[in-house]
Structure 1
């Protein structure tokens, strides 16, 4: 009889083990063709609903992404008829009059309070009457909360108490989409999550961060994990520093009262930029299952130590060039020290990224509108050409807005008889490479994901907790006025102290690089 080797024994043992597939292995997203879908927009009379939610739904409707049996019901405290809602929405919608009319025909309205029972009972009756016309079909209810988080608990309580009675047909579901901000710090975020978690499980909650729906953010995931050339470079041995930048060229524009209660760190850095950092720095997930991807984001976020005061520069814009300063906004409290600019350096304490500075920068009333990720590599060792290698760095630049693009900066030979070097770029400009292709806004993509049941681009509770843990200590110092807020003129690059912070992070501006394309944003 042949003697089995240890390897063959182990192999046979594994083959004889029963298979226990994970629920993630059986995952799929999508919806049934005969789905009876009802989208309830809570807060339908507000600005967010008219500016973002309804135009996104119209885009999906016009392009055939919604099921045939779809209805959109607005709910808010404002007394309003169906026709008044349609009149309010019409200026925000795009397309011909016929296309707009076709969409608005499916939009109705129910008025009611958020903390009583009468309005929710009226809404429940409308839902049940509609679904009764489609007996035997799976029914989906998407509750989109275009509301401030302060009313989430009472709204979700009303929905759960009165609007939770789905028909018992296989494939039916209820999902709740909630907008940021999710609290003001770690404690308030956890309190809100606990309240909502008692009403709806994590599988039904879709915390929307619209940056995760942007085309180039989703492309970043593909660039990182579908290309072999990035793998050996994506670590502390090759990368010197990373910048993630969000710049707006306008101020608060009369919304300063709202902004003043949050500030730029809560408004942009804690959510949008931290999410970009996680996508940039995480390990490759096992699959594209939403929880496999979010598991990796949580792992890397938990490796980031809380922000230290010496790694923060704050600013507030002042009047310049006939533009008002932040405190000139009549809605802003007199003497406010709320920062409208922040530059923050964080470090990821793991094997891949130890010692690499990640600079997160966001500001209002700056010199340009831009959102980009800039990965700067270390200088080339043993540089045998003319020139200073420290001033010539390879960079990968991903521009999220405006004009989506990806640039890889390379050191090349200048044309001519001499061996001289210059910085040039491999350039993927989406307008030129994909002419005529409409890149949708983030909201249609994320709403469609929620209808399909794909939580990949939504924030999970433990992910939210990890993000708040990074920012909460420094936010408490900002709230207490313990950090200086530097003035900077409207339309400038921000406070000069931010350049000093960037230099400490090791960023080197390429001294021999010129960007020639007319009309393009200079990199």
Structure 2
């Protein structure tokens, strides 16, 4: 049996050769998705270029797409299919060169991309005109298969109109064993009222089982592994409860600013953009009860229970911040597309309580922000302190708390902080860390985070997708914060720092502190 760690560290040239040999060969234990026609609304957009096409390319390289697949790109403006193919080819080549760590090679596998490229067809049409959908219906009637996935890679304002046009044209009707599915990107609403309205408009024409509300966070292998870590190991699950856990911290920190997306961010802000979706999804996976199976509805039922048990957040549970000028770059207010008197938050911290038997009294602290000191997405679970009677000469404050951390991005793995005796004749306690890194045990695979989600949608597996009730309960939990009686304060923080002082005060009031964003222990070599 080959050594997995050595396979993971083989030279790049060997990886490229191996990838070429395995192109279009199914991954072990997996089978190609059923034949389908993928219709992408927003074929000329950034999402299609940066994420969907690289994901399809990687699925092709893994042999997980059926030869009967067709890909139709719908977009406004006339152009030839050949021009669209050329544009995507150049974009993918640049992406491979710039993101070699994502593709694990700086050159395209021509066979894998050629498989996708020859199935691309450009289809011009306006998203809100009946004529577009009449022509699309005629085109799909001639497709190799009547299995169709409609992917809405468009601005949120087009979600409901496109679904309504698809429904009125009869394109969402499922006949015999053929399927028709909708993939809808976030933001799925901007508050509780808009989410309810969007769900109502969509479910007027489609069944809930046809709707795949996508959150790309759930496509990350390290996020999916949360369930495996919790439920496949007898040593972890028994302690995941209020008797043993002091607090849980979920962090999604970025070092970049809004990167030219100021006008979008002005309408959204860090809290709406991250908390009721990405961070709540992580909270749901780390806090949910064990499902009876990994059947999609069993898992989604347990996550829905968690969202339903969240105490509604109020102003006292939340801190907003906005980055100021510093060495990393200009202040948020000086970014393009941002109002000079903007009160939009680029940082948000929240204290969340879950009212159920397992987690009553255990605070979940969530934080996200831009222009912070380090890029890091992780979940840290801090255990309660043990009685210290036998360590009378060791101050309680000097002992490192036991913390189990699941590292999601950019590092992939886990770590556990605990205490041991320092060598020597005196009973002295010192902190140590045990670490696991995925790269040390498993060969890395090219992944942009959408491969699993696309593959599961074609299979009809909804485990990693959000249901209407979960969407609405998540928005309900934060609706008071989004519509406060008086505007929340927005605290300035220095670019390159860990965030505003008010966020530290939020935890200090509970007698706790954030885990450091810059941790010297994680930088030590094993």
Same fold, TM-score > 0.5, yes or no? yes
1:405 to 400, 413, 419: 413
User: Please, what is the CA RMSD of the aligned residues?
Assistant: 2.3
1:389 equivalenced with 2:388 (yes/no): no
1:338 to 331, 336, 344: 344
Distance 1:516 1:219, change over 3 A: closer
1:448 equivalenced with 2:474 (yes/no): no
The match for 2:41 is 42
Q: CA deviation at 1:336?
A: 1.0
Distance 1:482 1:404, change over 3 A: same
1:237 to 234, 238, 243: 243
The CA deviation string for residues 459-491 of structure 1, in whole angstroms up to 9 with x for no partner, is 0011111100111110112xx761110011211
1:394-473 counterparts in 2 under 5 A?
A: 394-434=402-442, 436-438=443-445, 440-473=447-480
1:295 to 281, 297, 301: 301
- TM-score scaled by structure 2? 0.87
Distance 1:377 1:45, change over 3 A: same
The CA deviation string for residues 376-410 of structure 1, in whole angstroms up to 9 with x for no partner, is 11111134235233442100101100020101111
Counterpart secondary structure, 1:458? coil
- Structure 1 residue ranges without an equivalent (≥5): 1-29, 132-137
The match for 1:89 is 88
The CA deviation string for residues 48-104 of structure 1, in whole angstroms up to 9 with x for no partner, is 111111211111112111111111110011322212211221233241445433321
In 2, are the aligned partners of 1:183 and 1:192 still within 8 Å (CA)? yes
The CA deviation string for residues 265-299 of structure 1, in whole angstroms up to 9 with x for no partner, is 11011100011111111111111111111111111
User: How far apart, in 1, do the equivalents of 2:225 and 2:213 lie?
Assistant: 21
1:149 to 153, 156, 159: 156
Counterpart secondary structure, 2:198? helix
Q: CA deviation at 1:223?
A: 1.3
Distance 1:165 1:232, change over 3 A: closer
The match for 2:374 is 368
Counterpart secondary structure, 2:71? strand
User: How far apart, in 1, do the equivalents of 2:288 and 2:32 lie?
Assistant: 36
In 2, are the aligned partners of 1:57 and 1:444 still within 8 Å (CA)? yes
Distance 1:130 1:516, change over 3 A: closer
The match for 2:258 is 252
The match for 2:78 is 79
2:192 to 172, 181, 186: 186
1:324 to 300, 306, 330: 330
Q: How many residues align?
A: 480
The CA deviation string for residues 18-55 of structure 1, in whole angstroms up to 9 with x for no partner, is xxxxxxxxxxxx99979431101111111111111121
Q: CA deviation at 1:419?
A: 2.7
Distance 1:506 1:454, change over 3 A: farther
The match for 2:357 is 351
- TM-score scaled by structure 1? 0.87
In 1, are the aligned partners of 2:34 and 2:65 still within 8 Å (CA)? no
Q: CA deviation at 1:188?
A: 0.6
In 2, are the aligned partners of 1:304 and 1:470 still within 8 Å (CA)? yes
User: How far apart, in 2, do the equivalents of 1:253 and 1:504 lie?
Assistant: 34
Distance 1:482 1:305, change over 3 A: same
Q: CA deviation at 1:167?
A: 8.5
Q: CA deviation at 1:447?
A: 0.7
* Stretch of structure 1 that moved more, 34-43 or 219-228: 34-43
1:273 equivalenced with 2:286 (yes/no): no
User: How far apart, in 1, do the equivalents of 2:449 and 2:372 lie?
Assistant: 24
Distance 1:325 1:114, change over 3 A: same
Counterpart secondary structure, 1:123? helix
User: How far apart, in 1, do the equivalents of 2:435 and 2:452 lie?
Assistant: 26
Q: CA deviation at 1:324?
A: 0.9
Counterpart secondary structure, 2:435? strand
User: How far apart, in 2, do the equivalents of 1:150 and 1:276 lie?
Assistant: 27
1:128 equivalenced with 2:134 (yes/no): no
Distance 1:87 1:377, change over 3 A: same
The match for 1:103 is 116
User: How far apart, in 2, do the equivalents of 1:34 and 1:455 lie?
Assistant: 14
Counterpart secondary structure, 1:501? helix
User: How far apart, in 2, do the equivalents of 1:383 and 1:73 lie?
Assistant: 69
1:37-76 counterparts in 2 under 5 A?
A: 37-76=36-75
The match for 1:503 is 508
* Stretch of structure 1 that moved more, 195-204 or 87-96: 87-96
* Stretch of structure 1 that moved more, 355-364 or 424-433: 424-433
Q: CA deviation at 1:423?
A: 1.4
In 1, are the aligned partners of 2:33 and 2:64 still within 8 Å (CA)? no
The match for 1:311 is 317
Distance 1:494 1:121, change over 3 A: same
Distance 1:393 1:83, change over 3 A: same
User: How far apart, in 2, do the equivalents of 1:371 and 1:439 lie?
Assistant: 19
User: How far apart, in 1, do the equivalents of 2:338 and 2:492 lie?
Assistant: 16
In 1, are the aligned partners of 2:172 and 2:181 still within 8 Å (CA)? no
